[in-house]
């Protein structure tokens, strides 16, 4: 029996959404003894995954310990079909089974996920080709204009009330924060990120900025408030835009900030700065050339562009579960892949910074707040959704900790622009974070 995820009516009265995290959820709890080959499959699975420190507890209570070690974590499989799903497509099934409650984890979830990432990363270098193909290949969804709308709607229109529960309450930033010092609050670190980005763009009053993908509009408002620049921000998420416009209006920024409901591909005009924070992951490699031409077109001769994106150390597909259930169409590029954007239009890269561990810390803060607010989330979404979200946050945190994901900020200009910042000293003249959030 397939059961689609039931969504409770949220307190905020946001619309019903039926597309969220649908997956087969079978109530197939059994207590028959596992077959010999099922036990063999478990041992094989653990070995192929690089021998992480996990034991399995099967549906009848049988325990399978890993070879030659005292396991740190226990994975409990509630039914034989869960095992088969895990063996044939672990990347997708792990998240699905966890969300459905058919795979239970004993031990810290982010720590377990980090251990899995590290073990698999080592192991996969020795995988035979067929296993690589079986476990890794999947076709990410298209990121064409109409599909992009759906992809973005799927995730970003879950309801502003939902995101408000666990994002910072300074500027609702749903991207990596910048922890200049380890003790910053989430709010301080998000404001520090906005400040860091503005400094990298060398903004001055009166300049014009175009932003591709603006989330809840926090960067645009920050730029207008603190740097006196005019910002055009593009987004295709209606829920986010509604919030962004309301906030800008409240803050009296209507004359400086314009939020445009349109695809980034339709940006027109010329600007002193082009900025995009956390959108490139959704652009798709097949659109990098068009994106490059877009930036070429709308950046003034002396303008500076900054792209901030999740990335990889080498080309690799997004984790299948994340791509299918959380971020449809997502693809984090390696710097080599990223360079297609720069090389195609003869852009000159001025600065690349990797904030990987800052994203791990950001996710840790988000997860803390999400966990504190699970009660409130449960008035909006069902248990399945909550478990999926927990897995998404924990898995992402683990991926950044294990070095499976990176966070790149890349600054570039036209190749023949000679009005360049002399050094990066000006990024560090005083702390980017406010003293108190």
Least Å distance, CB 155 to its own copies, is: 27
Minimum separation from the CB atom of position 337 to its own copies (A): 8
Determine contact, residues 72/115, Cβ cutoff 8 Å.
yes
List, as one string, the DSSP characters of 137-197. ---PPP-SHHHHHHHHHHHHTS-HHHHHTTS-TTT---S----SSTT--HHHHHHHHHHHH
Site string for its own copies, 308-347 (x = CB under 8 A): -----xxx------------------xxx--xx-xxx-xx
Q: From CA 289, how far away is CA 294, in angstroms rounded?
A: 9
Footprint (CB under 8 A) of its own copies, residues 127-186: 178-182
- Closer by beta carbon to its own copies, 36 or else 418: 418
- x/- track of binding to its own copies for residues 95-134 (CB under 8 A): -----------------------x--x-------------
CA 217 – CA 173 distance, rounded (Å):
9
Q: How far apart are CA 250 and CA 255, in angstroms?
A: 12
- Alpha helix ranges (H) inside 305-352: 320-321, 335-344
Percent helix / strand / coil, the chain, rounded to 5 = 45, 15, 40
* 236 vs 402, beta carbon nearer its own copies: 402
Minimal distance in Å, beta carbon 312 to its own copies? 9
Of 101 and 403, the one with the shorter C-beta distance to its own copies is: 403
Rounded Cα distance, 318 and 107, in Å: 25
| Site size for its own copies (CB under 8 A) | 45
Alpha-helical segments (H) within 201-333: 218-227, 238-250, 280-283, 288-298, 320-321
Query: What is the per-residue DSSP string for 377-402?
Result: HTTTS-HHHHHHHHHHHHHHHHHHHT
Site string for its own copies, 346-365 (x = CB under 8 A): xxxxxxxxx-xx--------
Cβ 260 to its own copies shortest distance, Å: 30
Q: Which is nearer to its own copies, 343 or 368 (CB)?
A: 343
The residues in 369-408 that bind its own copies, with binding defined as CB under 8 A, are 401-403, 406, 408
The answer to whether 186 and 168 have CB atoms below 8 angstroms apart is yes
> For residue 198, what are the CA distances in angstroms to 52, 203, 253?
42, 6, 17
Contacts to its own copies from residues 406-435, by CB under 8 A:
406, 408, 415-418, 420, 422-425, 427-428
In the complex, minimum distance from the CB of residue 185 to its own copies, in angstroms, rounded to a whole number: 16
CB of 118: closest distance to its own copies in angstroms? 7
Calculate the alpha carbon distances from 135 to 94, 261, 312 in Å.
Answer: 12, 38, 19
Cα separation, 282 vs 241, whole angstroms: 18
Please tell me whether residue 289 binds its own copies under the rule CB under 8 A: no
Q: How far is the CB of 72 from its own copies (least distance, A)?
A: 18
> Residue 281 has which token pair?
């992951």
The least distance separating its own copies from the CB of residue 349, rounded to whole angstroms, comes to: 6
Closer residue to its own copies in complex, CB, 37/126: 126
Q: Which residues bind its own copies (CB under 8 A)?
A: 118, 121, 178-182, 313-315, 334-336, 339-340, 342-344, 346-354, 356-357, 401-403, 406, 408, 415-418, 420, 422-425, 427-428
């Amino acid at each position: 029996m397939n059961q689609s995820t039931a969504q409770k009516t949220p307190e905020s009265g946001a619309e019903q959404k039926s597309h969220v995290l649908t997956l087969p959820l079978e109530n197939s709890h059994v207590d028959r003894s596992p077959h010999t080959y099922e036990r063999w499959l478990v041992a094989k699975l653990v070995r192929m995954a690089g021998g992480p420190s996990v034991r399995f507890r099967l549906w009848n209570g049988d325990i399978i310990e890993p070879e030659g070690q005292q396991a740190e974590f226990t994975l409990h499989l509630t039914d034989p079909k869960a095992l088969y799903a895990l063996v044939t497509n672990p990347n997708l099934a792990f998240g699905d089974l966890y969300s459905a409650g058919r795979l239970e984890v004993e031990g810290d979830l982010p720590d377990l996920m980090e251990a899995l990432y590290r073990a698999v990363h080592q192991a996969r270098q020795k995988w035979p080709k067929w296993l690589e193909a079986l476990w890794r290949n999947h076709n990410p969804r298209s990121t064409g204009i109409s599909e992009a709308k759906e992809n973005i709607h799927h995730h970003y229109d879950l309801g502003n009330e939902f995101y408000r529960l666990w994002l910072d309450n300074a500027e609702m930033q749903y991207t990596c924060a910048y922890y200049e010092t380890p003790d910053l609050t989430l709010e301080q670190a998000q404001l520090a990120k906005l400040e860091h980005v503005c400094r990298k763009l060398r903004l001055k009053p009166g300049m014009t900025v175009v932003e591709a993908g603006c989330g809840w509009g926090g960067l645009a408002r920050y730029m207008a408030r603190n740097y006196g620049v005019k910002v055009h921000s593009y987004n295709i998420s209606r829920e986010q835009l509604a919030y962004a416009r309301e906030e800008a209006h409240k803050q009296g920024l209507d004359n400086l900030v314009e939020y445009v409901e349109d695809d980034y591909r339709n940006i027109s005009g010329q600007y002193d700065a082009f900025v995009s924070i956390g959108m490139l992951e959704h652009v798709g490699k097949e659109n990098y050339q068009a994106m490059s031409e877009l930036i070429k077109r709308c950046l003034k001769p002396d303008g500076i562009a900054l792209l901030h994106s999740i990335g990889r150390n080498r080309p690799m597909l997004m984790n299948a579960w994340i791509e299918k259930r959380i971020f449809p169409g997502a693809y984090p590029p390696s710097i080599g892949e990223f360079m297609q954007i720069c090389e195609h239009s003869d852009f000159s890269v001025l600065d690349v910074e990797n904030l990987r561990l800052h994203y791990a810390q950001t996710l840790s803060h988000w997860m803390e707040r999400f966990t504190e607010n699970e009660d409130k989330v449960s008035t909006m979404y069902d248990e399945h959704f909550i478990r999926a979200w927990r897995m998404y946050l924990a898995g992402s945190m683990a991926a950044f900790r294990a070095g499976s994901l990176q966070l790149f900020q890349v600054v570039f200009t036209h190749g023949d622009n000679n009005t360049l910042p002399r050094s990066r000293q000006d990024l560090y003249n005083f702390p980017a974070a406010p003293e108190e959030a």
